[in-house]
Amino acid sequence: MTPEPHGLIYYFFNLDMMARAAPEIMAGFWLTLAMAVLVVVGGLALGLVLAVLRAFQVRPLTWAIILFVDVFRAVPALVIIVIVVFALPYGGIVFSPFWGTTLSLVLVLAGFAEEVFWAGITAIDRGQWEAARSTGLRFLETLRFVILPQAVRLAIPPLTNWTIAITKSTALGSFVAVPEILSQASSAQSSLANPSPLTLAAFLFLVIFAPLVVLTRWLERRYGWRR
């Protein structure tokens, strides 16, 4: 049965339009998925490394980390993407739209992740540092085996929320011509004069991020502190 040409089904749930746009949107789906994985892994890893380096309390290094964190937490992700993709080439540093967007979001997530990991480290009682050092453990061993396992558990609940929020910003890649889901769906909408491709894009965003939401809830239950 053909949907009414002026009805809700025709404009937003038109399966024929979705099928015509599907090849391009699916290509955007795989690109978005790759970006999301890179952002999560890179951002969390860099944030943890920065928090560990900050624990050494080397003043110039600490100041540099704080400056990094403040900048990437304060500046909107879209502005950072535009600077990386369009401004850095004037200084001889060139990134493709895909890698420029991915790097920008990695840096943004790292800024938030560092603060969360650092808050977890500083929340550990000072007596645990002293007790571990009194047993003969060196600073790095104390940090690795005593402090970080507890700090990471404390960091999981707030960190999961930031991770989801920032990773969804992969859609900002459409502003710099990254052919991700939203960009492909918008192009299909324009060429087909029908917004049904956007509905398909919304469903595919759910396919990517709904499992991430479920995973973060599981991590909170599994590793978060129980009250």
CATH of the domain at 68: 1.10.3720.10
Q: Cα 95 to the chain's mean position, in Å?
A: 19
- Does the residue 64 lie in any domain? yes
- Does the residue 30 lie in any domain? yes
- Does the residue 8 lie in any domain? no
Contact 96, 173 (CB under 8 A): no
The residue segments making up the domain with residue 112 are 26-223
- Does the residue 49 lie in any domain? yes
- Does the residue 95 lie in any domain? yes
- Does the residue 162 lie in any domain? yes
- Does the residue 9 lie in any domain? no
10-residue mean pLDDT profile of the chain (227 residues): values are: 68 91 94 94 96 94 96 95 95 94 97 94 88 84 89 85 88 89 91 91 91 82 61
Instruction: Give the burial string for 10-39 (b: 16+ CB within 10 Å, else e).
Output: bbeebeebbebbbebbeebbebbbebbebb
Distance, CA of 178 to CA of 185 (rounded, Å): 12
Contact 150, 124 (CB under 8 A): yes
Number of separate domains in the chain: 1
